[in-house]
Amino acid sequence: MASDISGLTYFTFKFGLFLVAFLVVIAFLLYKFQNKLLYIPVIQGLPKSQDQNQLGMQNPSQIGLDYEDINIVTKDNVKLHGWIAKRPNCKNVPTVVYFHENAGNIGTRIFYMKEYNNQANVNVVLIAYRGYSNSEGEPSENGLMIDAEAILTHVFSRTDIDTNKIYLHGRSLGGAVSIYSASTLKFNLAGVIVENTFTSISDMVDVIFSKVRFLKGLVLRNYWPSIERIQKIKQPMLFIRSDLDELVPPAQMNRLYQTATSARFKKLHVIPDGDHNNSWTRDQYAYFNAVQNFFKDCNAY
């Protein structure tokens, strides 16, 4: 009997050591390769560079949209590439800096860029983060924050647009970049639009990686604490929430909306049948009308 107990104790001890070693390895991998898990410049079926997309998704001119290439260099010497599509009366209309979603190259956003430019009557700036599309470098939280500063520095230095009418619009990851930019960087933004974005990476771990969330205190090195930063934003804000978002729980958008107590004013546009990325296609008139009304309200205050 004593030998049975002794054997069981030894087995339990060995199993415990194995479990600890396994968790240490998992924690190490999650920490070391976290950026590659979080940021997805390449998705299945599409190349990293938009230049290798099918026709119609390589550059805006292929779908009849006039544009200019933008090439800028960040303060840590990373070259970023993107586009600006201007209206004929470019100095008399708002300019929207669109901080894009996580996955894929900027060529996948060309149709959205065109409709935004036409239906909302705005200039649209779309520049790829580092490591995405034709931009150099590797993505990271700090890197994307540096990119945001470089992008806005460029946009505010332009003489062909009205720099008193510059708005941010960020969807998903781009929403976190927008909230960071508006809360932390010292630019005279006219307003901020966030769409289907998350409260923090920590909260998203609870949703997507719930089985290993007990490790997040040890391994997280990407935070994007939008729920904390949004309280500092004073500019007007428009929140676009999709009720059928399959990635970011709509409840997180609700929390952001409720927490934005310092904004000069805030509005919420709900798309009942909208998903994470393509809500703008459900009812384009209603979507861009909400954006235009937001711009009008910003001018009225």
Q: Where are the alpha helices (DSSP H) in the chain?
A: 2-32, 34-38, 110-119, 141-157, 173-184, 201-208, 216-219, 226-229, 250-259, 284-300
Mean pLDDT of the chain: 90
Q: List strand residue ranges (DSSP E) for 34-165, in order.
A: 68-73, 79-85, 95-99, 123-127
**What's the confidence (pLDDT) of residue 27?**
52
* pLDDT score at 28: 47
Residue type, 147: D
Flag whether pLDDT at 213 surpasses 90: no
Q: Is 244 helix (H, G, I), strand (E, B) or coil?
A: coil
pLDDT of residue 214: 63
H or E, element range at 70: strand 68-73
Q: What is the pLDDT of residue 29?
A: 47
Separation between Cα atoms, residue 232 and residue 236, nearest integer Å: 12
Asked if residue 11 has pLDDT above 60, the reply is no
* pLDDT at residue 31 tops 60: no
Percent of the chain with pLDDT over 70: 85
- Of 53, 156, 153, 183, which Cα lies nearest the Cα of 109? 53
Of the candidate ranges 195-204, 218-227, 250-259, 282-291, the one whose mean pLDDT is the lowest: 218-227
Percent of the chain with pLDDT over 90: 80
Per-residue pLDDT band at 36 (split at 50, 70, 90)? confident
Tokens representing 73? 């260099």
pLDDT in tens, 258-275: 999 999 999 999 999 999
User: How far apart are the C-alpha atoms of 4 and 66, rounded to whole Å?
Assistant: 80
Give per-residue pLDDT as tens, 84-136: 999 999 999 999 999 999 999 999 999 999 999 999 999 999 999 999 999 99
As annotated, the active-site residues are 172, 245, 276
Task: Look at residue 52 and tell me whether its pLDDT is greater than 80.
Answer: yes
Higher-confidence position of 182 and 213: 182
pLDDT on residue 14: 59
Cα separations in angstroms, 78 against 74, 81, 180: 5, 10, 20
CATH superfamily, region 33-300? Alpha/Beta hydrolase fold, catalytic domain (3.40.50.1820)
- What 3-state DSSP class applies to 98? strand
pTM equals 0.90
Tell me the torsion sign for CA atoms 248, 254, 260, 263: positive
For residues 97 and 167, is the Cβ–Cβ distance under 8 A? yes
Q: Is 196 helix (H, G, I), strand (E, B) or coil?
A: coil
The pair of structure tokens assigned to 96 is 């929207």
Cα(266)–Cα(277) distance, rounded to whole angstroms?
22
DSSP state of 270: E
pLDDT(240) > 90: yes
Q: At what angle do helices 284-300 and 110-119 cross, to 10 degrees?
A: 50
Question: What residue ranges do the domains of the chain occupy?
Answer: 33-300
Cross-strand partners of 192: 168, 237
More confident residue, 36 or 25: 36
pLDDT tops 80 at residue 185: yes
